[in-house]
Amino acid sequence: MNYKELNWIYLFISHIKRDILINSRSLFDIVSIFGFMLLIIILFPMGIGPIQEKLDIVSNAVLWIGLIIAIIPSLEKMIQRDYTNGWLDQIATSPIPLEIVLLAKSISHWIIVIIPLIITSPIFAILLGLEFNQIPWLILSMSIGGLSICFIGIIGAALILGARRGNVLLPVIILPLIIPILIFGVGVNESIKIGLSPLPNLFLLIAFSLIYLVISPFISAILIRIAISR
């Protein structure tokens, strides 16, 4: 095995560890993510009414929308801290490839934000009356869709780097990119409800993750280099 390749993998994993260590120190972030998710999960039945037939129609969508809304406020933090304390500057001007670091950032964000939400998603699913056979597919689709959202999120965070009130712009910019993920993510569970196979939707979700896996490190690296050179 080439020594250089071994170096990159080590770099990747160590950066993930570093990010997880830094971001999990603040309990406040985790609480705010669950707070938003709970807000959506509880407000929707409160607004619609306790009739299970009515809730059944929207429950998959509500779960996914809760996921998206819970993640969006945390996306900006992916890059902001490291930009202001100069860490990104260091990486960009060193021989370390910025793209690998950004890939590691997206994955670590996935681990910190999405995995807790996915572990607790059965509870939310039961609150909304989902069937038991749907929950594994929910977890699978949210994991894969969540990966795409993290990749899209880092592009969004890089776009608003240095903007005034950028975090207010982030939802508007992200919106068109997120919509396909939402459509197919909900589609996985909806097709199970109807009795069709969830695989077409799932494969599309996987395809999106792969597309964004490839393009997001490069596009965010370009944007960060532009931001640093100011």
Partner 1 sequence: MFDWLANPNRFNRITNKIQPILLLASLITIILGLYFGLYDSPKDYQQGHAVRIMYVHVPSAWLASGLYLLLAISSIFYIVWKHPLADLMSRSTAPIGALFSLLTLATGSLWGKPMWGTWWVWDARLTSMLILFFFYLGYILLSNAFERKIDGSKSAAVLAIVGIINLPIIKFSVDWWHTLHQPSSLLKFDGPTIDGQMLLPLVLMIIGFCSFASYIIILNVKTKLIEKKCEALILKLNLNEISNIR
Q: List residues near partner 1 by CB under 8 A.
A: 155, 159-166, 169, 172-173, 175-177, 179-180, 183-184, 187, 190, 208, 215, 219, 222-223, 226-227, 230
Least Å distance, CB 161 to partner 1, is 8
Residue 27 has a CB neighbour count (10 Å cut-off) of 8
DSSP line for the chain: --HHHHHHHHHHHHHHHHHHHHHHT-HHHHHHHHHHHHHHHHHHHHHH-S-HHHHHHHHHHHHHHHHHHHHHHHHTHHHHHHHHTTHHHHHHTSSS-HHHHHHHHHHHHIIIIIHHHHHHHHHHHHHTT--GGGHHHHHHHHHHHHHHHHHHHHHHHHHTTT-TTHHHHHHHHHHHHHHHHHHHHHHHHHHHHHTS-SHHHHHHHHHHHHHHHHHHHHHHHHHHHHHHT-
Nearer to partner 1, 33 or 161 (CB): 161
Nearer to partner 1, 13 or 163 (CB): 163
Least Å distance, CB 123 to partner 1, is 28
The torsion angles phi and psi of 50, rounded to 5 degrees, stand at -80, 5
Nearer to partner 1, 6 or 215 (CB): 215
Least Å distance, CB 207 to partner 1, is 9
Q: Is the dihedral of CA 84, 27, 220, 9 positive or negative?
A: positive
Least Å distance, CB 200 to partner 1, is 9
Nearer to partner 1, 160 or 202 (CB): 160
Nearer to partner 1, 29 or 89 (CB): 89
Least Å distance, CB 227 to partner 1, is 8
Least Å distance, CB 112 to partner 1, is 24
Least Å distance, CB 222 to partner 1, is 7
Nearer to partner 1, 44 or 151 (CB): 151
Nearer to partner 1, 104 or 154 (CB): 154
Between helix 52-75 and helix 77-84 the angle, nearest 10°, is: 10
